[in-house]
A and B are shown apart, each in its own frame.
Chain A
């Protein structure tokens, strides 16, 4: 049973376009939603995160839009660059209040930005 779902599994955009990655979750107790970026041969690294009290979080060219009622969020990468080519994981947790603060990850979206 997948508690965090991501779509699409892969996405190709041209340089300068906006890439939109989707994520949805089932557990209403989730309140912390980080996105991790992973390059081939490396471990994931935190890119940007949002808490359920907010509906938008922006960091440079990366923006998270969050809809608590629909249990959906999306990551927008504006002005995509070839260096953004990576796999992006949406994750969720109950925050530091939960035992171990266990993160549940989606299966990831592989993004390719063509020059």
Chain B
């Protein structure tokens, strides 16, 4: 079974601080995604990547950076965390020729 692991599972950050969320996949998938989930908004795409050392903007990239140093790892970086970035963040991966997404368990981020 495909495996996507996220760390940490939860985090409390201070406004203006830097936050890094990590994602690791053992699926050997090319594509990786970062989504945020908020009540009333469902899942919204922040950034994605289809190859190492390259990232693409999703639908809501403002305030976020992404890094794909290897095929297995994909990070989401909040340089200056804000209250509005409090949410649950999900990482996902998929094969190039398959549309099925495999999600991690999520990271609950609270910015105070």
A residues in contact (CB < 8 Å) with B: 4, 6, 32, 34, 36, 41-46, 49, 89, 91, 93, 95-96, 99-108
Taking the closest CB of chain A, its distance from the CB of B6, in whole angstroms, is 8
**With contacts A34-B99, A101-B94 known, what are 6 further pairs, Cβ within 8 A?**
A43-B4, A49-B99, A89-B42, A99-B56, A100-B31, A104-B59
B residues in contact (CB < 8 Å) with A: 4, 31, 35, 40-45, 48, 50, 56, 58-59, 90, 92, 94, 96-101, 103-106
Interchain CB contact under 8 A, B56 and A43: no
Interchain CB contact under 8 A, B99 and A101: yes
- Chain B hits for A95, CB < 8 A: 99
Enumerate 11 A-B pairs (CB-CB under 8 Å) in ascending A order: A4-B42, A6-B42, A43-B104, A43-B105, A91-B43, A99-B56, A102-B45, A105-B42, A105-B44, A107-B40, A107-B41
Taking the closest CB of chain A, its distance from the CB of B64, in whole angstroms, is 16
- Chain A hits for B101, CB < 8 A: 36, 44, 46, 103
Interchain CB contact under 8 A, A93 and B105: no
- Chain B hits for A36, CB < 8 A: 101
Interchain CB contact under 8 A, A46 and B43: no
Q: 8 closest A-B pairs (Cβ-Cβ)?
A: A43-B103, A107-B42, A105-B43, A105-B42, A46-B100, A100-B48, A44-B103, A43-B90
- Chain B hits for A4, CB < 8 A: 42
Interchain CB contact under 8 A, B97 and A41: no
